[in-house]
Structure 1
Amino acid sequence: MVFFGGSGDLVTRKLLPSLYQCHKNNLLVGQGGIHCLGLEDYSQTEFVNFAREKARQFISGGEWDDAVWASFSRWLAYDRLDATQPEGYGVLQERLSRTLAEVNVFYLSTASFLFAPICENLARAGLIGANARVVLEKPMGHDLASSNAIAEAVSRYFLENQIYRIDHYLGKESVQNLIALRFGNTLFEPLWRREWIRNVQITIAEEVGIGTRSGFYDQAGALRDMVQNHLLQLLCFVAMEPPSSLKSSAVRDEKLKVLESLVEFSREDVYAKTVRGQYRPGISGGQPVGGYLEENDIPADSKTETFVAIKAEIANWRWAGVPFYLRTGKRMPERLAEIVINFRDVPHPIFPMTNGNTAHARLEIRLQPDEYIRLYFNAKPPGDTMELQQVYLDLNFAEKFKIRRPEGGYERLLLDVIRGNQALFVRQDEQEQAWRWVEPILNTWAADSTGPKTYTAGTWGPSAASALLSKDGFCWHEEE
């Protein structure tokens, strides 16, 4: 496995710790190695020590083992490489010639404008064989045209079945349990449709600000960074039809049908069905924090959105008329990712509620920080009245399954790349369709001089996000 950008934040904070865990659990077998390439001038020993210190920060205390790291680090190699210079690939060629690995995985943890030159230089060095695979990190371009240009450049050297467009949310246990819940049981299938579901809410909230990513984030914004990939992929798994099998082609065919069924936005739709926000100073994590415009290297007149809420609609028989509310933002009250399925009320309520309010049945699928599935419904508490109270059935993965759960999704996805399983990766036609749906929103916002609405750091975004649902007679479930 070869990491371009091998001394960068993603590799040292996420990918190497994930591979360490795979090694610790005896999931990496056979002959192979992990070769990191970067611009820093580390010696072999310096890089291993650097990687060790970074990894220890992101591996929970009970999971760290010095002896395991020592055996894992024997697989690590590092070389300085400018990925744009063809002459530098000789050292990689020489390294790979000494291994007995059956598959070479090239993981491009770099800016997407480097994808094309890296693939071209790998081809020139004769390193792309039939068993080579390439992993592409998001974002792939900044709009439909640039994404297609990158796809065309990479496809000159790799076939589609060799390309793995990674979305780490799809490696999370709860996403895979959503698939098992839907397609491994008959319980929910009769209810999983427009007749019984009021709305679907998908949220990815971050408590942190932009950190050190100002250069990237101010060019991307929340819509490109989170909606076009993570949120739309989660929507696909909620809304897709049952695939004929778990083969990657069958699963991805059904996801594509959902993306193709999303109702496209007119200019008027963008104003009526989307909200963009930007955080101003407030309290986050109990501490005062500055606003987005006060972050380092952010222009004082930046109109980049740090919050997005969208009402999406799917034009097919299963979902016609059911709104899908998508929401993501920085400087939210807490870090969480969740999918909430709100079911319809009974047609004629005959029971009072203990708090005087109607409580709606809902299925809550929490992706992070804890992973669980909860089914909320109404029940009668003990006593001599027939008032109802909301209760829930809880499947907490950590409590139910007394085995370690992979963190972050990368462990599962890295193993899938090695095994050649593409079911949880994004196919090019999916990528293209997602950009096609998002682009009218991008274009309308770019032409709107008013910019995003502001919201106080530590809150759930602008009030317009609540108004988006209240127009339909709904509210975000935490407001209920």
Structure 2
Amino acid sequence: MVSRVIPVDPFDLVIFGGTGDLARRKILPGLYRRFLAGQMTDDSVIIGAARSELDDEGYREMVAKAVIEFTPKDKLDRDGLTRFLAHVRYISVDGKVSGGWEKLKEVVRQGVVKAFYFSVAPSLFGELAEKLHRHGIADAESRIVVEKPFGRDLASARALNRVLADHFAEEQIYRIDHYLGKETVQNLMAVRFANILFEPLWKAEYIDHVQITVAETVGVDGRGAYYDKSGAMRDMVQNHLMQLLCLIAMEPPYHFDPNAVRDEKLKVIRALDAVQPDDIVRGQYLAGNGQGSYVEHSEDPNSRTESYIALKCHVSNWRWKGTPFYLRTGKRLRARTSEIAVVFKEPPHTLFDDATGWRENVLVIRLQPNEGMELSVMIKEPGPGGMRLKQVPLDMAFATALGAEAADVPDAYERLIMDVIRGNQTLFMRGDEVEAAWAWADPIIQGWEARGDKPQGYDPGSSGPEDALMLMHRDGRRWRDIRE
């Protein structure tokens, strides 16, 4: 089976912050791959925009180095790179002054899709939006892509929404969360809503609990001062983990339509109960394995910012009342892995004398590494000696099931940028959704700040603070092992 590649309409994509780290690591290599796949038409143009004084050739040289560095060697096509670079231009623009905007207006064409990627600090979003309209570069059909962080609390998120709304309609604003572009996340919706198998069981009556884990092995060294202003709650839980929770808990939308999907996600966020202080564990990694501690990397020996957080929350609606959702994320943990585990309840009556080997059915959705799904079921252990039970996985690793097709799955940024060009907002956050997430997160953050809670230390290479284990143990449950 060969995946279909459907070209998008001709476009001009302006990347503000076109010389920055995100552009070099993700955006430009992703566009290169879409070009090789035939999804970019020959009359599409990519325009880097930043303060650096470069000409087209200087920028193309930078783009070539970025593509070569961040593209796997087996995916690199030198001839294709040369052809791709012919579609790349550069304009020196400063978001805070007027220089360069008239030149940008001359370069951006009429009659094609116009998209503007704000790969810059949020403090510049309003300036860019205002200047795009003042200089007549953007119009009613233009689209803007906004990177996180989208605010650091409810008040700042609302202010940012108002600034963007002064110049762009909600239908033109694409708030990007790259987790929603992952193949497995979208397959989660397909498994739920395209198969009758799970949907009748997808409720509190049959599901004991849900675990969502995003674990990283890296620390914050090199960007500790920046990270210390946010922490794991703002950086991961309020957006990435919240989006995963919504996709697990949402009701079936009436149609796979952007607003229909986002309406159902918004209902989940609004149904979240307040999280109690005893249901939150925060941590900071200690020094070890030849690496410094979090407080050393943050350059603040008195830092109370968390590099790890685990919490238990509840969705108070008919479908989920009584089923806890456990969320955890952290730096410098045992392995790099992201997964959602839906743990089903045990049967109401055990038929077999030997129940000592009983384990729950678990549906695991792996986001990284080795994207795929696994369903753990109970079978009879082979051999004589009675009915001994054994848990085995029914594994659907995409690389195994789909072969070469899975190896060529687009990166999240590739998929999401192409969705921007298509005008499809399904996998992007709406303004009211962002504000609802902050309305839930703000009291949690304000609570520990008011109490003066200090995060617990945990060893690098571990699963996090000991109290995070107790968060589950006291409920008679346990976290899944963190492993690749």
Superposition TM-score tier, normalisation by shorter sequence = over 0.9
Pick from 263, 272, 279 the counterpart of residue 273 of structure 1.
279
Distance between the aligned counterparts of 2:222 and 2:39, measured in 1?
Answer: 34
User: Could you say if the C-alpha distance between residues 26 and 352 of structure 1 is closer, same or farther in structure 2, counting changes exceeding 3 Å?
Assistant: farther
Task: Determine whether 1:292 maps to 2:294.
Answer: yes
Q: For residue 274 of structure 1, report the CA deviation from its aligned partner.
A: 0.8
Q: Secondary structure at the match of 1:219?
A: coil
Query: Which residue of 2 is the match for residue 368 of structure 1?
Result: 368
Amino acid at match of 1:44: D
Q: Is 1:410 paired with 2:413?
A: yes
List alignment gaps of at least 5 residues for structure 1: none
**Letter aligned with residue 293 of structure 2:** G
> Post-superposition shift, 1:336?
0.9
Structure 2 residue 117 is the aligned partner of structure 1 residue 111: no
Correspondent of 2:183 among 159, 162, 173? 173
**Residue 437 of structure 1: which of 440, 450, 461 is its match?**
440
Find the counterpart in structure 1 of residue 337 from structure 2.
Answer: 336
Report SS of the residue matched to 2:323: coil
| Alpha-carbon displacement from aligned partner over 1:406-445 (angstroms, at most 9, x marks no partner) | 3541111111000000001000110010000000111112
C-alpha separation in 2, matches of 1:358 and 1:298: 49
Residues 334 and 482 in structure 2, CA contact (< 8 A), matched pair in contact too: no
Corresponding residue of 1:453: 456
Higher mean C-alpha deviation, range 195-204 or range 27-36: 27-36
- Answering whether residue 377 of structure 2 is matched by residue 377 of structure 1, we say yes
CA contact (8 A) 1:406 1:412 kept: no
2-structure distance, mates of 1:351, 1:72:
63
- Which secondary structure does the structure 1 equivalent of 2:116 belong to? strand
CA distance, structure 2, for counterparts of residue 427 and residue 232 of structure 1? 14
Deviations 1:72-113 (A, max 9, x none): 1111112222111134311211211xx355111010011111
Alpha carbons 2:238, 2:441 under 8 Å: kept = yes
Q: Distance between the aligned counterparts of 1:388 and 1:479, measured in 2?
A: 25
- Distance in 2 between residues matched to 1:335 and 1:357, nearest whole Å: 29
Q: TM-score, normalised by structure 2?
A: 0.94
1:445, 1:112 → 2: CA distance? 26
C-alpha displacement of 1:30: 5.2
Q: Which residue of 1 aligns with 2:321?
A: 320
Aligned equivalents of 1:9, 1:365: Cα separation in 2: 29
Percent identity of equivalent pairs: 43
Q: Displacement, 1:478?
A: 1.9
1:37 deviates by: 1.2
1:357, distance to aligned residue in structure 2 (A): 4.4
Tell me which moved more, 71-80 or 61-70: 71-80
Q: Which one is further off, 422-431 or 80-89?
A: 80-89
Distance in 2 between the 1:200 and 1:110 partners?
Answer: 35
Q: Which runs of 5+ in 2 are unaligned?
A: 1-12
Read off the aligned partner of 1:390 and give its amino acid letter: Q
Summarize the Cα distance change of 1:416–1:353 in structure 2 as closer, same or farther, 3 Å threshold.
farther
Describe how 1:145-184 pairs up with structure 2 within 5 A.
145-184=155-194
Cα distance in structure 2, aligned partners of 1:115 and 1:423: 22
CA RMSD of aligned residues (A): 1.6
Determine the structure 1 residue equivalent to 2:218: 208
Q: Secondary structure at the match of 2:378?
A: strand
Q: Deviations over 1:27-73 (max 9, x none)?
A: 11252211111222333222222222222222111111101111111
TM-score normalised per structure 1: 0.94
Q: Tell me whether 1:102 sits opposite 2:112 in the alignment.
A: yes
TM-superposed deviation, 1:250: 0.8
Q: Alpha-carbon deviation of 1:479?
A: 8.2
Describe the SS at the equivalent of 1:311: strand
- Cα deviation, residue 447, structure 1: 1.9
Partner in structure 2 of residue 307 of structure 1: 308
Contact 2:357–2:389 (8 Å) recurs in 1:
no
Distance 1:38 1:82 in 2: 6
Distance 1:236 1:259, change over 3 A: same
| 1:349 aligned residue | 350
SS in structure 1 at match of 2:60: helix
Q: Supply the distance in 1 between the matched residues of 2:450 and 2:351 (Cα, whole angstroms).
A: 51
Aligned partner of 1:254 in structure 2 is 264
**Cα shift readout 1:240-286 (whole Å, capped 9, x = no counterpart):** 00111111111111111111111124xxx1x2111111111123xxx
